[in-house]
Amino acid sequence: MAKYYDVHPDNPQPRTIHQVAESIRQDALIAYPTDSCYALGCRLGSRDGMERIRSIRHLDDRHHFTLVCQDFAQLGQFVRVDKDVFRAVKASTPGSYTFILPATKEVPRMLQHPKKKTVGVRIPDHVVTQALVAELGEPLLSSTLLLPGEDEPMTQGWEIKDRLDHVLDAVLDSGDCGTEPTTVIDFSGGEAEIVRRGAGDTSRFE
């Protein structure tokens, strides 16, 4: 049964954020709000968490998981960013974008795309997410909370608690968040390739 946390959207309670971060360190799988929509999240090295996300979303091993980072400095530890790409990514963060980039050795092999050796990264523009990642001290392994056969992600914390109570450990609810997944930009080939059009403006990448 998932614990339900009601979090203030502008001033998230430090004690609550600490409790959730502790549960993540102990291998919890959570649902949490971002600037694009709700996401599933777990500890960076959690094989169990990754498999649970795959099971909930019916994903195969080619799916790009996302590392949700606190800031650009943290992002730079986990992906390689050349000068031109740096400018484009820097100008778009924080925001509703996921960037696919070559992974560094800091990224566990199980999280990398099996052939491309890439990983998705993002820096959300959301107070609660930022507070959680800061408290955690490392990126959150994440995936959009989009259930199999559904066109729209889930947007209400109470509904997520109701429908996924048996497969999650915690749900964070801070009221309304975005309803559209991130825009996904693949830079692994050197040029920007728009993989998914979502909440972020794509004009600068076209």
Dig out the tokens for 53 from the structure.
């996300």
Residue whose pair of structure tokens reads 């794509």 in the numeric block: 202
CA distance linking residue 159 with residue 177, whole number of Å: 14
Q: DSSP alpha helices (H): ranges in 26-140?
A: 47-57, 72-78, 83-91, 127-136
Q: Which residues, in sequence order, are CB contacts of 153 under 8 Å at separation 6+? A: 37, 38, 144, 145, 146, 179, 180, 181
The pTM (predicted TM-score) of the whole model is 0.94
CA distance linking residue 149 with residue 78, whole number of Å: 32
Report the candidate in 3, 30, 52, 38 with the shortest Cα–Cα distance to residue 182: 38
**Which domains are assigned to the chain?**
3-205 (3.90.870.10)
Structure confidence by residue, pLDDT tens digits, 68-94: 999 999 999 999 999 889 899 999 999
User: What pLDDT does 206 receive?
Assistant: 86
Structure confidence by residue, pLDDT tens digits, 89-138: 999 999 999 999 999 999 999 898 888 899 999 999 999 999 999 999 99
